[in-house]
Each structure stands twice: as C-alpha cells, then as structure tokens.
Chain A
Amino acid sequence: MARELETGNHAAGYALAVAGEANRTARGAICGAYPITPQTEIVEFLRDFPFTKGRVVPVESEHSAMGVCIGGALAGARAFTASSSNGLAYMTENIFAAGYYRLPIILIGVNRTLGPPWNIWTDQGDTLALRDAAWLQFYTESHQDLVDTILVAFRVCEDKRVLLPGIVAEDGFVVSHTQMIVDLPEQDLVDRFLPPLDLPHRLRGRSVTVGGMTYPHETERHRMEIQAAMERVPVVLAEALDEFERVFGRRPHGALSAEYTEDAELVLVACNTMVRTLRNVVRRRRAQGQKVGLVKVKMFRPFPRREFARAIGSARRVGVLDRNHSPGSGGIFWPEIVTSLRDRPDVLVQDYLVGLGGGDVTPAVLEEIIDDLAGRQMAEEPLWKEVLT
C-alpha cells in the first residue's frame, strides 16, 4: 500500500477512482461531475483520472450529475459522484430516484451547512436530510475511515442482497481540506476486493420500462423490498468487513463502534470528526476514574438499533451529540437513539445540539456536556450548546 499525505477530498477521489477502475473488466465507470465547496477537489481529481473504461461528465447542475449516474448505472457501469449542502438539496429529486431505481451509486457527501444564510462549514444536516431516500448512509471520522468506508460501501451496496445506493459523509474542511497520512490501496488489491458490477436490472436490450407507473399495492411491495434489503445490510456489511480485512490487512469500523462502554455509567454518542475529539476527552475522564464511554455511530441508514441497544452496556445515561438541526424537533440522531432504546425506560437520553454551522466542538464543550449529563435528574428537550456555555 502507498502511504501518502493527502487531503480528505483527494483521498476520497482516489477511492472512487480505483473503485471505478476496478470495473474496467465489466461495463466501466461513470460520474456526473459538478463543483461545490467543499467538495470540488473530488470531482477535479476524478476529471483528471485516466480511466481505462470510464467517463466523468462535466454537467451543468447537481441534479444532472445524479441523472448521469442514474443513466450510466442503468446501462451497467459503476457510478459515483460527490456533492455538499445546497448541491445535495438541488440533487435531491434524483437522489430519491436512484434509491427507488435500486441503483448502487456511491455519493460522497462532504458535509456543509445548508443555507441561506450562506455558510460553507460543516454540519451533518445536508446528508441527514436525505435519510428517507432509500440510501445507505455512512459517517466517517478520518481520512482513512473515509477511504476504507468508500470501498466497503461499493461492496455492500452492489451486493445483490442489497442493491441500494450509499452516501459516505466526511466533514467539510475538517477532513476535506486537511492533510493526513493515509493508506491508499493499490489497484490490484481493490480489484480483488470489488468484484465486477453485474446489475441484474440493467438495460440489456429487453423491452422493460424502468421506473414506470405502479399501483398502490405494487408500490407498497416495492417499499417493503427496499426495507427488506436494508435489513440484510448488517449481514452483508459484516461479510464485507471480513473480506476487507483479508485483502487489506486492517478492519474498518462497522455500523457502530463502542469504546470504553463495558462498565460505563454514561455514554456519549457522536459521528464524524466529533468522535475523535470525544475519544480524547473520554480517555482523560477515564484516567480520572470516571466511567464514561462513547459510541461512534458510523451507519445512520439502516440505523443499527439492535447493535446500539447492546453497545451502551449497563450505562443508564446517554448523551447524543447532534451537529444538525431539525427545526421543531431537535437533533436528528436523537429520535433514532430514543427508538433504539425503547425497551430501556431506565436509560436517560439527553440530546445536545453542538457545532451547528461549523462551530468548533472543543474538548471544553464536551467536558461541559459530560458534567451536565452526569448531574442530570431527568432528560429535557434538546439543549443547545450555547445554553450550556
């Protein structure tokens, strides 16, 4: 493997490119490319990549970027693109279409706050707004996590037991524009890990109308099939991680990872780069003797409810860090956590809205949250970070 100093975006572009190139023995690679900060370097990287069999189409909008991916995937190619924030919002109609067409397209969501007011920094509201779109969703904490998860996502999404698209999210700027040493897997290993795509319902001279009209009972069946495919993801993901470890010699995190939770009294839940700050704070508290743990939720769709209920162990207090906001509700991870713990009325779950619009989620903020959670008699409505400080 090549260990290189790379930005998150170039690392993601590389992972997409080698995944696409791995399909050169089948029907090739296709990408609709459109710039938006902080995603732009990904599509720039892809436009420069010398695909053996592939095309990166410079389109006029995100909506068309996903349109090109849809057409290319239907014709049998491995399809991928990247976007952020309002670009994802503009793409949304075709994002839903790609899910309902059952096309295993991979989209890098470089998290950026939705506007207006305009803000280019990270929060996860843009990709989380797509949670109902029949896409798998993965949230990554580092450059290496990003690269590995992109490759895993292709393998899981293209598996015939799944056949759904997937979003792999990275924090804008914090990952996208910083450099870290990262293992960039060589092509021959990626070729071993990603079998050629064989989309069962691709266009192949059959008189099939893809996406035509259905009546209610057929639509219901279609949605039930998507739900069943989502429910098969944990098994397929576990197999993919085993295979990843065999091929690349390391094992990425799965749907979630529980750290310091065995005897934890309170657990904090986070995604993306917040996990890394939180991990340091938890270690410090552990060194001081406080029984604190953390759960990194990497896979938001399908949400790993059963695994989460197990992951918190015997903890009776759970604090959710939501770097997103659903107006009129609160954080978007929070109701998922509450639902996952519906058989645990003894557990106090408090939601914390942190780092919206890219505000720094510092160790000091996390220390305050841990103290608040530890001293709390009951949960209340989602708390804004500003309320605490």
Chain B
Amino acid sequence: MTTATTAPHELRCDGILRPGNTNCAGCGMSIGLQWLEQALGQERPTLCIPACCGIVTAGAFPTSAYGVPTVACTFASAASVGTGVSAVYAMNNEDELTICWTGDGGTYDIGIATWSAAAERNEDLIYICYDNEIYGNTGGQRSSATPQGVKTSTTSRGKTEPKKDIMAIAAAHRIPYAATLSIAHRDDFMRKVQTARRMKGFRFLLMLSPCPTGWKSEPGESVDLILTAVRCGLFPLYEVFDGRRYRINARPDGTPLEDYIRRQRRWRSEQLDLEAIKAQIRENWAYLETMARVFPARETE
C-alpha cells in the first residue's frame, strides 16, 4: 500500500495501469493499456504521454494510476522527450523500453512533425497512438483523424474531409515496423506488441480506440464496435515491415458497415454518405491486397 509518507524510491513499479483509475466506462484506451501490460509481461516500460486522455488517466498528484515511470509531456513532445529518455538509457547500456502513448491529436495533428522526425532518425521507441478520432478530453472536437461524416463539437453538421491515412505516413518513413491494433483481437494485439518489442528502432502502432462519450455509443459495446469495424473492413488489421513489406491479419467477412455506424450517434449527420465510405473501404482494400501480394512480408517476420 502506497501512502503519502512513502519515499519516492520505495514506489515500486507494479504494472502499467492500476485499478481505481478514473477512465470512462468503455474507454478503448483503458483496454489497450491493460493489454499492453499483459503483452509485455514483467517488463516495466517508461511512458511518455502528451496532453491527452492518457495523461488524465494518471490522476492528480501525488497519486498516479500508472505503476511505471511516466513523463507528462507537452502536447507535441512525446517523441522528442521519448528520444531523450531512450538515448540516455541506451548510452548507459540499460535495456529499458520507452513507449510514447499518445492520442490522435498528438499523432495526426500537433505532434506529427515531432514523431516524423523521430521516425526518420529511427529512434529506439515504440510509438502507440490510441485513436479515438476526436480531441476527447477537451470535449470532442474534430481532429484530422475524424472520419468524414462524423459530428463533433467543431463539425456540428458533420466533418466534410476524409480521415488522414496515418499508417501510410508512418510506413513512408521506412521504419522497421508499423501495425494496427484491435481491442477485439487479443492474440493479434499481443503478438504485434511482442513483435515490436523484439525489434529496435522506431515502431509505430495504431489502435482504434472507442470513446463512448465522444462516439455517443454504449460503453458495453466498445469491444464489439471494434470487432465490427475490423469485420466490415473499415479498420484493417495489417503490418508493414521496413515500410515496404505488407501482411494482412484479418479480412472483411461481409459484415455490413451499417452495423458499425448505426450504433454510434456521432454519425447522424448531413455529411454521412455510406456509399462513399464503402467505396473508400473497397479502394483501401484493393491497395492493401495489392501491396501484400506484390510486396509480401517474409515468412520469418
């Protein structure tokens, strides 16, 4: 039991996300943090977390819901602070894992130059974006991760622009590993985190993260929503090695897109064009299938 009188050096690392945190029910990020911990076993990484729900998770000083060393960074700085931390661990021959744990605002928008530069330098970081497709803790404003047709507090009639393809941007850096994570596919999630852990250099993981508050969805349906997003083809599960070699992990099974859309009130907007989204999904898959056929991942990867 940690008490107020415990000296800092006695604060033992006891896991990534502790129970008793204040995260919303049905928060995809909470599940992601728990699965991250399970995937890493006894390893206790250092977390660099910018302004996002992920740092609100920590709670208020002097308590912390994180049982590992954690730096609350400025919004655009997860990958630069992570670079400094990781570099000093390395020069002291410490095999410590540094993870940037960031939202879509910090990844698609304000922090993109920072992590792009860290990726270009191939810093030894695992960079994980939990993408809830909005600025969540400020009350749900659009980001460049918000899909076309979704209502947010700054797109009251629905967003008119399509979502940014951040995986393509990550892969274009020719980093060792980029992969998508699903909180409905546990084995796949575990394997990808462990694959990333075995590698060195910049590893980029993208997790679609339900936010019942922002998505206007039922908290109890969060995992099923992601399962549906994968099955209808909207959120493909795949890996890219060295930015060139592709592997698809799950293919659409004919589940209708409507099963995903109609359970979230954020999609009820004038801008929603289901047929356009379906056309985009088909195009995305044609591209992915082509890449996976022409530039397949190696058997050993």
Contacts and interface: CB of A to CB of B under 8 A. Distances in A.
Interface string B70-103: 1111101101111111111101100000000000
Contacts of B46: 203
Interface in A156-205: 201, 203-205
B254 interface: no
Contact of A207 (B11, B85, B120): B11
A211 B88 contact: no
A288 interface: no
Nearest to B2: A207
Interface stretch (A68-76, A116-124, A231-239): A68-76
A171 B262 CA distance: 63
Nearest to B116: A60
Interface in A54-96: 54-55, 57-61, 63-77, 79, 93-94
A213 interface: yes
Contact of B84 (A63, A71, A208, A218): A71
Contacts of A251: none
Instruction: Say whether chain B's binding surface is mostly helix, strand, loop, or mixed.
Output: mixed
A67 B56 contact: no
A278 interface: no
A71 B44 CA distance: 17
A210 B68 contact: no
A211 B85 CA distance: 15
Contacts of A53: 91-92
Interface in B216-246: none
Contact of A75 (B13, B79, B88): B88
B88 A30 contact: yes
Best-buried of A61, A75, A215 by chain B (most CB within 10 Å): A75
Contacts of B66: 207, 209
B59 interface: yes
B60 interface: yes
B206 interface: no
Contact of B8 (A66, A67, A208): A208
B71 A74 contact: yes
Interface residues of B, number: 46
A206 B88 contact: no
Contact of A76 (B80, B82, B88, B116): B88
A335 to B, nearest CB: 29
Given A67-B114, A71-B85, A208 B74 contact: no
B64 A72 contact: no
Given A64-B114, A67-B74, A208 B11 contact: yes
What DSSP secondary structure best describes chain A's contact surface?
mixed
A371 B166 CA distance: 66
A214 interface: yes
Chain A, interface residues (CB within 8 Å), range:
35 or more
Nearest to B85: A71
B55 A55 contact: no
A68 B67 contact: no
Contact of B81 (A60, A70, A77, A215): A70
A27 interface: yes
Contacts of B56: 213
Contact of A203 (B12, B71, B73, B113): B71
A64 B70 contact: no
A74 B61 contact: no
A70 B116 contact: no
A212 interface: yes
A60 B114 CA distance: 7
Contacts of B120: 60
Contacts of A205: 13, 44, 69
A8 interface: no
B61 A71 contact: no
A203 B9 CA distance: 10
Contact of A209 (B64, B76, B85): B64
Given A66-B80, A69-B84, A97-B74, 7 more contacts: A60-B114, A67-B80, A70-B81, A77-B84, A206-B69, A207-B11, A212-B58
The 9 closest A-B pairs by CB, nearest first: A71-B84, A67-B80, A72-B84, A75-B88, A60-B117, A211-B72, A64-B80, A71-B81, A209-B64
27 contacts: A28-B91, A55-B87, A60-B117, A63-B77, A64-B77, A66-B80, A68-B87, A70-B81, A71-B71, A75-B85, A76-B88, A77-B87, A94-B77, A97-B73, A203-B69, A203-B71, A206-B69, A208-B70, A209-B61, A209-B64, A209-B70, A210-B69, A213-B59, A213-B61, A214-B61, A215-B61, A218-B61
Interface of B: 8-9, 11-14, 44, 46, 48, 55-56, 58-61, 64, 66-74, 76-77, 79-89, 91-92, 113-114, 116-117, 120-121
Interface of A: 27-28, 30, 32, 53-55, 57-61, 63-77, 79, 93-94, 97, 201, 203-215, 218
